[in-house]
Amino acid sequence: MLTVHHLGKSQSERIVWLCEELEIPYALRRYTRDPVTMLAPPDYKALHPIGAAPVITDGDLVLAESGAIVDYIMAKHGNGRLVLGPDDPDFAQFLYWFHFANGTLQAGMGRLMILNRLKLAEDNPMLAAIRTRVDRAFDLVDARVRDAEYLAGKAFTTADIMMGFSLTTMRYFQPYDLQRCPNMVKYLGRIGARPAYRRAMEKGDPGMALLLS
């Protein structure tokens, strides 16, 4: 049985959402962050040497890294759904945005979160550079969803699932004002209306306010 080990307010929400979109059988085990440190509890850290979310188990397999987990589940259960093939005209866009999630946006927001916690001076050049990079990333997403319904184009794909956390729940850790990104707010409205997304968030983080605007 595929088991999703979900740490509250974490990238593992992507995996719960994917399972709900595919409507595949899975077990969900929820873990709560330490209320003071906001870190994963010891039993979650013990699942995998890296000690970070997400993690799945499937029989004897223990797998981490959200992108790898998404690829694994799609290969075993996707049957061609939620992905675009190489003959699709939007294939390159699908690949780009799938990898943009962790390669650019999530990485930038994580760096900004750490720098903000260091209480650096507002004129610190490193802080200014990372803020500019994050702004550029958000601007790029906003421009894309101005011209396309979903990140890959007309079709909802795993690229949207990968990006969803960084645009929403990650803002609990690194706030970002989306009012400067009106197209993104509309896009998140479309994402937030998906029944599978609603089911996933209620199962994984019941009662958590969804940062869709």
The per-residue DSSP string of 71-138 comes to HHHIIIIITTTT---TTSTTHHHHHHHHHHIIIIIHHHHHHHHHHHHTT--TT-HHHHHHHHHHHHHH
Strand partners, 63: 56
Contact 20, 75 (CB under 8 A): no
Asked, for residue 210, whether it belongs to a domain, the answer is no
What is residue 152's three-state secondary structure? coil
Query: 97 with 41, same domain?
Result: no
pLDDT of residue 37: 86
Bridge partners of 56? 4, 63
Whether the full predicted model's pTM is greater than 0.85, yes or no, is yes
In a domain, 166, yes or no: yes
d(CA 13, CA 91): 25
The answer to whether residue 106 sits within a structural domain is yes
pLDDT at 38: 85
Assigned domain for 162 exists: yes
The number of domains in the chain is 2
Is 14 part of any domain? yes
Q: pLDDT tens digits for the chain (213 residues)?
A: 999 999 999 999 999 999 999 999 999 999 999 888 888 999 999 999 888 999 999 999 999 999 999 999 999 999 999 999 999 999 999 999 999 999 999 999 999 999 999 998 988 999 999 999 999 999 999 999 999 999 999 999 999 999 999 999 999 999 999 999 999 999 999 999 999 999 999 999 999 999 999
Q: Are residues 20 and 108 in the same domain?
A: no
70 and 121 within one domain = no
Same domain, 172 and 97: yes
CATH code for position 162: 1.20.1050.10
* Shared-domain flag, residues 120 and 73: no
Nearest to 159 by CA among 82, 212, 213: 82
pLDDT given for residue 197 in this prediction:
98
Cα-based distances in Å from 149 to 95, 144, 187, 188:
16, 9, 7, 10
Q: Examine residue 146 and state whether it is found in any structural domain, yes or no.
A: yes
Tell me whether residue 212 is in a domain: no
Range of the domain at 178: 91-194
**What is the per-residue burial (b if ≥16 Cβ within 10 Å, else e) of 9-38?**
bbbbbbbbbbbbbbeeebebebbebeeeee
Residue 76 lies in a domain: yes
CA atoms within 13 A on the CB side of 210: 20
Q: Are residues 122 and 184 in the same domain?
A: yes
